[in-house]
């Protein structure tokens, strides 16, 4: 993961249904001043999704809270506490909402051109391979034909006759 972690924001997983933002705040306040507490809601049930985020004012406080609360129990559930990753918005680093609709057009055209160039090169390579294969087959056929024309016995007899004629 190449995403930079947010050293003063903690991910808190494994929350029981009874836990709300006030309870989460109370559980983490002993470690330092808290800037924000969020428990994202499931839109269908309007209940939190068993995790939340606690943002401390100081990194050291977040570190102390993570060291002490990871594996701790809250309302009968064991908590998982880690540094939070930055919020990822769909559509790349900046997100779709931050870009005009035509922003991706140039890269799309570039990808299309690259794909077409790749197909063209593959077709050229395939054609060149076919030509080379045809030449090889033709050469092999000519060699076999040459072998058929040359009768080893006839060649040997011709050599003997030449030797006898010269002697």
Question: pLDDT for 93-147, tens place per residue?
Answer: 555 555 666 666 667 778 888 999 999 999 999 999 999 999 999 888 887 776 6
pTM: 0.51
pLDDT of residue 153: 74
Are residues 3 and 86 in contact, defined by beta-carbon separation less than 8 angstroms? yes
pLDDT of residue 14: 94
Query: Residue 38: pLDDT above 60?
Result: yes
């Amino acid at each position: 993961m190449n995403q930079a972690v947010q050293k003063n924001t903690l991910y808190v997983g494994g929350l029981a249904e009874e836990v709300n933002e006030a309870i989460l705040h109370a559980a983490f306040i002993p470690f330092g001043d808290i800037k924000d507490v969020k428990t994202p809601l499931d839109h269908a049930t309007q209940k939190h999704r068993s995790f939340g985020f606690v943002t401390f004012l100081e990194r050291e406080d977040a570190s102390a809270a993570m060291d002490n609360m990871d594996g701790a129990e809250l309302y009968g559930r064991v908590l998982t506490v880690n540094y939070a990753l930055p919020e990822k918005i769909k559509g790349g680093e900046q997100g779709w909402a931050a870009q005009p609709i035509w922003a991706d057009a140039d890269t799309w055209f570039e990808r299309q051109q690259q794909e077409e160039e790749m197909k063209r090169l593959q077709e050229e390579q395939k054609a060149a391979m076919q030509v080379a294969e045809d030449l090889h087959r033709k050469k092999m056929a000519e060699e076999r034909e040459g072998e058929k024309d040359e009768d080893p016995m006839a060649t040997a007899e011709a050599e003997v006759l030449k030797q006898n004629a010269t002697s």
